[in-house]
Amino acid sequence: MKRKALWASLLLCALVALVLLLRVVGHRLPPLDIPPPVPPVDEVREAPPEPSLLVLSLVMEAGEVAALIEKEIDVERYEDRDRTLDVPFGEARADLVVVRDGPLAVRLEGGTVAVDLPLAFSSSVRWSGEVLGLRPSFTQEPSGSLVTSVRLRPRLDGDGTLHLIPSVDLVWVSEPTMEILGRSLPIGSLVERLVEGEMERRSEELGRRLDEALQTRSRLEGLWARLHRPVELSSEPPLWLRIEPERLCLEPLVIDSGRIELRAGLRSRLSIGTERPEEGVPSPLPGELSGPSPSDGVDLRVPLVIAYEALRETVEEDLAGKSFDLGNALRLSVKGLSLSGGGGFLFAALDVKGGKSLLGLEGTIYLRGRPVWSASEETLRLADFDYDENTTRGLARLAASLLQSTLRERLSEKLVFPLGERLAEERIRLAAVLSRTELGEGFVLLTDLQTLAIDEVYASREGLRIDVRLEGKTKIVRDSPF
């Protein structure tokens, strides 16, 4: 009897244990089997670049100008033989000789090219006349020294042709005179007419030579054609600069501070991309280049692509291995995450494991949102953040309580991507890349990058695409001597 009672007690305990075990097993949730989302097709986003102004600067230093003038005004000796002199009485004929008497001095100041040339004058004057029935005659050799000061004022035509308008002044250091029957007669005017005529002729030729040296029109035509070809900024990562010139406006020639500077405003549209653009078909340089320049400054948009793996690393510490107590006996742990994107949406795939009433729930859930840039915080947040459609259906079937929980809001708070440090690094890199760009044809593009700002963000299949707006000053200068 006692043995039967013992076996009955053991059987009852076994049945109770079995019931409890079945109840526990019955509350375990099956694993999640949610198919991943298919990202939408990326949109073709090609916003036309804003117009920019490239400042073109062609500079000729004083040394280069002096060397050119030295070649053109190569005054060694002027001669005028058997010239008739205008004297009060009698007749006089002279052989006049003017020679260079020192180094050439060139000054570039006050809008003019000033050339000072020291000269020495010598002559042989033969005079004869009739006085009181007598016919006296003599020969004298008057001499003197002077400085010829030539001022060349530039004029730039609308088509880019340079003209120099000369004015010649002579300053006598020692003016020559001759004696006729006790009277002293200055003869410097003879030298002045000789030198002024020669200097004006040579100055006109100098203007043509200076224009040829500057090669204003031809250099501008060469630069204009070269700008239609893409320029490689860097190979790793690949960056290509495309310039679409629209208009060139010459400014008045500047001559000051020991240099001649030709400045022009080049209105262009600039773009930087990761793929080599097609070479543009050069349009002819406009015939008329005069007119006011557009406002100064350069506006560039640079597409940056941040890989989703790099983006994941910025939030991994706040999510991977973390547990969320969602109330109502709901507990969910995030074992890991990955990011992807496409069509403007960023997708977060979270490997999760349930606890408490979610025991047994394990697998991957997917959420998506549109990336939005916060300039004040320098962070990227996700707008319209929600479960992917497949995840919504899967959770509704297995764990509908999760859909009603605060999980989505909690994850939205964690999926915030700080990019300020990354942008600071990009600014330094782009400033270095753009600081000096060889354009060819002896021209260099110099850029002073002043500001960098996020213009737009877009989640593409290849990564998070960020359109960065660069603003600064840009100048094209000559990199080879004239």
pLDDT value of position 337: 93
In our burial notation (b when 16+ CB lie closer than 10 A, e otherwise), range 49-60 reads bebbbbbbbbeb
Residue 137 zone, left/alpha/beta (φ > 0; ψ -120 to 50; rest): beta
State the residue for tokens 């006296």. 136
Tens digit of each residue's pLDDT (9 = 90 or more) over 330-350: 888 999 999 999 999 999 999
Measured CA to CA, the distance from residue 326 to residue 331 in angstroms comes to: 6
Rounded Cα distance, 475 and 54, in Å: 6
- For 22-67, the pLDDT digits (tens) are 344 445 678 888 889 988 888 766 666 777 778 888 888 888 888 8
pLDDT digits (tens, 9 = 90+) for 177-198: 888 877 888 888 777 877 777 7
Tell whether the model's pLDDT for residue 13 goes beyond 70: no
What is the sign, positive or negative, of the torsion defined by CA atoms of 318, 323, 325, 328? Answer: positive
Given a cut of 70, whether residue 478 has pLDDT beyond it is yes
Non-local (6+) Cβ contacts of 168 within 8 A are 148, 149, 150, 151, 195, 196, 199, 200, 203
**Residue 248: band (very low, low, confident or very high) from pLDDT cuts 50, 70, 90:** confident
pLDDT tens digits, one per residue of 83-113: 887 787 788 888 888 888 888 888 888 888 8
Length of the chain: 482
Q: ∠462-463-466 over CA atoms, to 5°?
A: 125
pLDDT at residue 17, as a whole number: 46
What is the reported pTM?
0.60
CATH class of 61-214: alpha beta
Dihedral, CA atoms, 271, 274, 275, 278, nearest 10 degrees?
Answer: 10
51-61 and 464-478 strand pairing: parallel
Looking at per-residue pLDDT, the higher value among 156 and 409 belongs to 409
Residue 247 has pLDDT above 70, yes or no: yes
Q: Which residues of 167-187 are buried (b: 16+ CB within 10 A; e: fewer)?
A: ebebeeeebbebebeeeebeb
3-state secondary structure 426-464: HHHHHHHHHCEEEEECCEEEEEEEEEEEEEEEEECCCCE
pLDDT of residue 423: 83
Secondary structure class of 387 (helix, strand, coil): strand
Round the average pLDDT of the chain to a whole number and report it.
81
CA 366 to centroid of chain Cα atoms: 43
Beta strands in 375-442 (DSSP E): 379-387, 417-418, 436-440
Extents of the domains making up the chain? 61-214
Residue 143 has φ and ψ, to the nearest 5°, of -145, 165
pLDDT in tens, 348-395: 999 999 888 787 888 999 999 999 999 888 899 999 999 999 999 988
